[in-house]
Chain A
Amino acid sequence: MNYSLLTVEILATLLGVGVLLADLWLPASARKLLGYVAATGVAILLTYALGSGAPADGTAFGGMFVVDAMSNYFKGFFLLATLVVLLMSIESSETLVGYAEYCALTIFAAVGMLFAASANDFILMFVALELITVTFYILVSFSRGRLGSLEAGVKYLILGALASGFMVFGIAFIFGAANTTNFYEIAAKQTELAKSPIFLVGLLLTVVGLGFKIAAFPFQMWAPDVYQGAPATTTAFLATGSKAAGFALLLRVAFGAVPDITAHWSRLILGLGIVTILYGSLCAIPQRSVKRLMGYSSIANAGYLLLGVAAASLSGGTAVLSYLGGYIFTVLAGFAVINVVVNRTESDDVSAFAALGQRSPLLATGLTVAMVSLAGIPPLAGFFGKFLLLKAVAAHIGTDKMFLLALLVACVGVVLSIYYYFGVVRAMFWPRNATDLTPIAVGGATRLAVVLCVVGVFYLGICPNALVRTAKQAVAGLNVPPSAAEVHTAAK
C-alpha cells in the first residue's frame, strides 16, 4: 500500500503525540511555548502540504482513502484553520487548564478533518467524523471551571451521539442495499440503487449525521448553545474546521457517490437551505451575545452553502468550495478578536465590544473586516463567495421556480445579516455608553492571526481567480455533472 499518500496525516498525528508527550517533561511555565511549537509544526505541515508534499492522486486502504484535487483543497484549509486556532489559543494559554492537551486535541481533531477530506468510503467517513466529534466533546467542555462550557459539552455529546447513531444506522442500510460502502462503487450503480427505498433511507440517515455537523435545519439546535458555551477558540474551530469537514463529506457523497439522487433531491436540499437561512438570520437579530450570534450566523451560512449543493452543478460545487475558503478566513478573523475580548472582559455581550475601536484599533479592524465580509460586501471574500453561490442558483431559475424563491430568500437573509453584523460594528465604533476605554494589549500570536486572516479576506475578495480555479478542478474531479441542464433532463 502506498503510505506516502498519508504523509500529512501521519506527520500531524506525530505532532499531536509529540506535543502531548512534551507536556510530561516540560515545566508548567513553558506551556505557552508549546502552543508556539504546535503552531509552528502545523505551519510547516501546511507549507509542506501545499508545496512539495502534495502527493500525486491515488487511493489507499483498498479505495477507502483517496487523494485528489478535492482532498488537497480541503487539507490546505483545515491545516490553515488549525494553525490560526493554535495561534489564537496562545492568548488563553494561561486560563485553560491543561493547555498542552488542548493543543494536542486540536491537532487530533485536525487529523480527523484531514481524513475526512480524503474519505471515499462510508466507513472511513464515519471514523473520521467520530475522531473529530469525540475530540470536540472534550474541546467544547475544556473550560472545566465554567458551567456554561460543561453544559455545552454535554449537549454536544448527547446530540452528537444521537446524530452518530442515525449515521451508523444509515450506513448499515446502505451496506445492506448496495453491498458496498465505497463511494466509487456506489456511484457506478446509483441508477439501480435509486430505486431501493432501503438505500434511500440509509442515505438520508447518513446525511442527517452530516447535517448535524454543518448545523443545517432541522439539526441545528445545538449550534447556538454550544457556540456560546465553548471556549472561543473551540467555537472558532467548530465553525470552520468541523463545518468544512461536514461539507467536504457532504460534497463527496452528494456530488461524488450519488450525483443523480442529489439532483433528484435538489428541491429538498433547497428547501432545507431556505429554512436554514431564515432560521439563522431571524434568530440572530435579537442576539446580544456575540458568540451566540456567530452560532446563528453559522447556521445561516450553512443554509447558503446548501443552496450551492442543491444547484447540483459544477458551478454550484465550485461556489460551495470558494465560499468555504473565504468563510474560513472570515470567521477565524472574527473569532481571533472575540477570543481576546472574551478573555479580557469575561463576557461576550455586545457591550463588551463597546469602543473597541479606541481600545484596540487592530482588533476592531479585524472584527469589522470579518463582519463586513460575512455580510457579503465587496471587495471582501464573503462577497465573492455569495456572488458565486447566487449565480449558480440563478442559473436554475429557468428550470425550477423554487430556485427563484431561494434567490429571494438569500437576498433577504443578506439584508437581515447586514443588520445584525453591523450591530457589532456599531458597538465597536459608536458605543452608546462605553465606560472602559483602557487600551487592550494584543499578543504577537493573535496579532499574527488577525493580520493573516484579514489579508486573506482581502486577497480572496480582490483576486479570487486562483481559488475559484482550484475549486473548479476539485469539483470536476468528483464526476459532477457538467451542466445543470443535463442533470435535470437526466432526472426527468
Chain B
Amino acid sequence: MEHAHNAHNAISAAAPAFSSRPEDLAWFILLLPLIAAAGIAFFVRKSNVLSAVFSIGAVLAAFFLSVGLFITFGIGGEATVTTPFSWIHVGDLNVNLGVTVDRLSVLMLLVVTGVSALVQIYSTGYMHGDRSFSRFFSSLSLFTFSMLGIVLADNFVMMFVFWELVGLSSYLLIGFWYEKPSAGDAAKKAFLTNRIGDFGFLIGILMVWAATGSVSFAGIAHKLGADPTALGSMASIAGLLVFCGAMGKSAQFPLHVWLPDAMEGPTPVSALIHAATMVAAGVYMLCRTFFLYQVPAAWPAPLSFLGSISALDIIAVIGGFTALLAALIAIQQNDIKRILAYSTLSQLGYMVMAVGCGGPDAAMYHLTTHAGFKALLFLGAGSVIHACHHEQDIWKMGGLWNKLPVTFRTFAIGTAALAGLPILTSGFYSKDAILDAAITGGHPVLFGLGVIVAAMTTFYMLRLVIVAFFGAPRTGAASHAHESPNSMIWPLIVLAVPSIAIAWLPLGDFLSAHFNPHFHPHEGGGIFGPFNHAPLAATFGTGALLFGAAAAFGVYWNVPKDPLPGQLGLIGRAMKNRFYFDEIYDGVLVPLHDMLARLADWFDRWIVSGLIIRGVHGSTELVGRALRLAQTGNLQTYTFMFAAGVAVVVMIALKLK
C-alpha cells in the first residue's frame, strides 16, 4: 500500500464506520437493492404487490440518495475513497471492501439507479400477470445491486466479484422465461461469452497486482503515477487483458455475439442491460482504470514489432470496427428489439473507440446520454410489442403513430437523440464529443468511420420509425393496437426529458474536469458550443444526420416491403445474417472445442483414471491382499510372529545405543 493511500486509509479507519460522513451514504445505496432482493426471495415471495413495492422502494430510495451524493460530491466535491472493512489479508495481498465516491461514480450511480427505477416501474405493467412476477423483481434488484457494486468498487478484486455477480444476475434475467429453449440458450450464451472475457480480465488483474503489489485503484494509480514503467514490458498486454473484461460485458467484437440473443429476456431486462447495467459496465471499467492505459506502450520481446502502438490504439480500432459492423447489421434487421440491440452494440463501439482515442470523458458522456435514450427506446419498443400482441417484426406493424401517440412521440425523441439531432438532443453533444476526441487524439481514419457510422445510425433508426409507425397497418394486430397502461407510459415520458434536457447541462465539462485536473471549460460554451470549439466534428456530425435521414426517407417512405435486399444482393444477405458470426463460431470454434474436450476426456480416461488411478489402486490392493496372507488365523503363527517381533524390536532398540 502506498503512502498517500495509506494516509487516507488511516483517516477513514480512524473514523467509526457509518459515521455521519455523507460518502457513507454510498453503502446504503449499494446495499438497499440487495436487501430488497433478499427480502423478496426469503419473505414476501408469495405477494406480487409487496415484491414490487420492496424492489421499487429500494431502488427509488437509492436513487434519491444518489441525487444527494451527486449534489454533495459531484458538484465541486473531492474524490474520496472509504474503506471501512478489511476483507482479505493474506501475505502481500490486502483487499479492502471500499467504495469510491467521485464524479465518475456519483454520475454513474444516478444513471444506474435512475434507469433501474424507471425500468422497474415500467415492469409492473409489462410483467403484469406473469406467474414469476416476484422472482423477476428479486432478480432485477440483484442485478441493480451487482451493477452498483461495480460502480462503487475501489479495487480490482471487489470489482471482479461484482463483475461476476452481474454475469450471474444477467444469466438469471435473460433466461427468465427458462421454459423457452431459446431463452435458456441465450442465457447460457451470454454467460459463457462473458466468462471468456472475464478470464482475460482476471489474468490482467493478476498481472497488474504482480507488477504493482496493489489491487486498489488508488494504489495502482499512485504507483503508476510515480513510475509509469512499473508494469514493465507487459504494460500493454496487461491493459489489453483488462480490456478483455470490457470486451465481454460491453459486447465488443469478437465477443459481441451474446448481446442480440439476450433479447430473449423480457423487454424491461433488455432495457436495463442495454442502457444502464452490464454493457455500461465495460466502458465504465475502462474509464475507472484509465490510468492503466496512460503509461507508455511496452511489449514483450515476441511482440516488439508492435513498437509504439499502444493498447489504447488497439482498443480504439476494436471499438470502431464494432461500431461499423453492428451498424451494418442493424440496417438489415427486421425485429424491432434486434435493431435496437445492434444499435447498442454500435454505440458501445463508439464509446470504446472514444476511450481508445484518449477520451474517457467523451465515452462517459455518451454512456450517460445513451443510457437515457436507449432505455427510452427499449421501453418504447416494449410498449409497441405489448400493443401489437407480442409482434416484434417491424414489417408486420405500420401506422402506429396515431394509435400509440405517447409511445410514438417519446420514441421519436429517443430516435432523434440517438441520431444526434443538433442543439435539441443530448445525443448530439455526446456524439460530438466522441468525434472531437477522435480528431484531437490523432485518429482521422476513426473520425471518418465515426461519421459514416453516424449516418448509418440515422438511417436504420429512421427506417425503424418509418416502417413501424407510418404507412398503412400491415397486419390486423397493428391496426387494432392501442396505447399501453399508464405504468408503462409514464416512464417513457420521464425518460424523454433527459434525452433532451441533458443537452443543455455542462455534463461534458463536468466529466472532462474529472479526468483532467487542468481542464478549463471552452470559451464560447452554451448550446452552440460544439460549432465553436469543434466545428469539424459538429459539421460532419450534422451532415451525417442529414444524409442518413434523406436516404431513409428516400428508401422507406411508403413501401410495403424492404427494397434494400434486392439492391444489395449478397452483401445485404450477409448483413441480414449478421455476417454469419454465429455460424462461423459454430463451424470453427465449436468443433475445435469439441476436439479439445475429446482429447481431455481421452487423457482423463486412459492416463489419469486408467494408468495413474487404477495403477495405484491395483497395486495397493495387491499389497493389501498379500499382507492378508500373513493373517492366517492360525494361533501358532500368531504367537511365533509375536515372539519374533519382540526379538526384533529388542535388537533394534539395543542397537540404537
Contact = CB atoms under 8 A, between A and B. Distances in A.
B625 A286 contact: yes
B645 interface: yes
Nearest to B633: A225
Interface in B119-158: none
Contacts of B617: 419
Contact of B649 (A212, A218, A267, A419): A218
B627 interface: yes
Nearest to B621: A285
Contact of A267 (B620, B645, B656): B656
A208 to B, nearest CB: 5
A282 B627 contact: yes
Contact of A272 (B631, B642, B649, B654): B649
Interface string A194-225: 00010011001100100010000111011011
A416 interface: yes
A416 B616 CA distance: 11
Given A159-B642, A285-B621, A221 B656 contact: no
A204 B627 contact: no
A44 interface: no
B628 A268 contact: no
B627 A221 contact: no
A272 B643 CA distance: 16
B627 A279 contact: yes
B620 A218 contact: no
B620 A219 contact: no
A162 B621 contact: no
A204 B642 CA distance: 14
A196 to B, nearest CB: 11
A28 B522 CA distance: 108
Given A221-B631, A224-B631, A204 B649 contact: yes
A405 interface: no
A283 B638 contact: no
The DSSP consensus for interface residues of chain B is helix
Contacts, number: 77
B653 A200 contact: yes
Contacts of B649: 204, 208, 218, 268, 272
B624 interface: yes
Contacts of B559: none
Interface string B622-657: 011101100101010111011111101110111010
Contacts of B648: 218
Contacts of A219: 642, 645-646
Interface residues on chain B, size class: 20 to 34
Contacts of A200: 653-654
Interface in A166-217: 166, 197, 200-201, 204-205, 208, 212, 217
A221 B620 contact: no
A402 interface: no
B646 A268 contact: no
B633 A286 contact: no
A158 interface: yes
Contacts of A271: 652
A145 to B, nearest CB: 20
Contacts of A268: 649, 652-653, 656
A206 B643 CA distance: 14
B639 A159 contact: yes
Contacts of A36: none
Contacts of B625: 286
A289 B623 CA distance: 18
A429 interface: no
Contacts of B637: 221
Contacts of A217: 645
A284 B621 CA distance: 9
Given A282-B624, A282-B627, A166 B646 contact: yes
Contacts of B641: 218, 221
Contacts of B644: 218
A28 to B, nearest CB: 36
Interface residues of A, number: 35
B627 A162 contact: no
A296 to B, nearest CB: 9
A154 B635 contact: yes
Interface string A242-280: 000000000000000000000011011001100000010
Interface string B2-43: 000000000000000000000000000000000000000000
Interface string B64-107: 00000000000000000000000000000000000000000000
Nearest to B644: A218
Interface in B347-380: none
A282 B638 CA distance: 19
Nearest to A412: B620
B617, B625, B649 — most chain A CB neighbours (10 Å) = B649
A284 B623 CA distance: 11
A374 B642 CA distance: 27
A162 B642 contact: yes
Given A200-B653, A200-B654, A282-B623, A205 B638 contact: no
Contacts of B620: 282, 285, 416
Contacts of B656: 264-265, 267-268
Given A282-B623, A285-B620, A285-B621, A222 B631 contact: no
A222 to B, nearest CB: 7
Contacts of B653: 200, 204, 265, 268
A156 to B, nearest CB: 10
Given A218-B645, A284-B624, A204 B650 contact: yes
Interface string B366-397: 00000000000000000000000000000000
A32 interface: no
A205 B650 contact: yes
Contacts of B621: 285-286
A447 interface: no
Contacts of B652: 268, 271
A386 to B, nearest CB: 20
A426 interface: no
B635 A218 contact: no
B639 A286 contact: no
Contact of A222 (B627, B638, B645, B654): B638
B639 A158 contact: yes
A205 B654 contact: no
A343 to B, nearest CB: 24
Given A219-B642, A221-B642, A225-B633, A201 B654 contact: yes
Contacts of A222: 638
Contacts of B638: 155, 159, 221-222
A416 B623 CA distance: 12
Nearest to B645: A218
A289 B546 CA distance: 89
B642 A286 contact: no
Interface string A409-426: 000000010010000000
A271 B655 CA distance: 14
Contacts of A221: 631, 637-638, 641-642
Contacts of A272: 649
A158 B623 contact: no
A286 B624 CA distance: 7
Contacts of B654: 197, 200-201
CB-based closest 9 A-B pairs: A218-B645, A285-B624, A221-B638, A282-B624, A286-B624, A283-B627, A204-B650, A282-B623, A208-B646
Interface of A: 154-155, 158-159, 162-163, 166, 197, 200-201, 204-205, 208, 212, 217-219, 221-222, 224-225, 264-265, 267-268, 271-272, 279, 282-286, 416, 419
Given A159-B642, A286-B628, 6 more contacts: A154-B635, A155-B638, A218-B641, A218-B649, A222-B638, A285-B624
24 contacts: A155-B638, A159-B639, A200-B654, A201-B650, A201-B654, A204-B646, A204-B649, A204-B653, A205-B650, A218-B642, A218-B649, A219-B646, A221-B637, A221-B638, A221-B641, A225-B631, A268-B652, A268-B653, A283-B627, A285-B620, A286-B621, A286-B624, A286-B625, A419-B617
